[in-house]
Structure 1
Amino acid sequence: MGAVPKHKLGKSRKGRRRSHHALKAQNLVPCPNCHELRLPHQVCRSCGSYKGIKAVEVKSE
């Protein structure tokens, strides 16, 4: 048999516990090569460059 709560938790107590569960907005920075927004410390999806060098070949659609 699993663990069962002995008393009901109120809405405010439950809400205070879940106050840190919210999603945070991503920190996007412009690519120095093509000026598209990208995640920091990651290869740019539009041009494939990272720290000024071509890291990945990007497929053109």
Structure 2
Amino acid sequence: MAVPKRRHSKTRAAKGRTHYKLTLPRPVKDEDGTWRMPHHMNMTTGEYNTKKA
């Protein structure tokens, strides 16, 4: 079995035990009042980044 040659610090050991969680993308409210996901086009108006797609 592999054994570490040197001891890990308390900080380094704690970093291995952390759980970095992903956050869900938050919807964006457009000028016309509809909600859409970020980096997606508005399905009601057909616009993306205020330009007609």
TM-score using structure 2 length: 0.47
TM-score using structure 1 length: 0.42
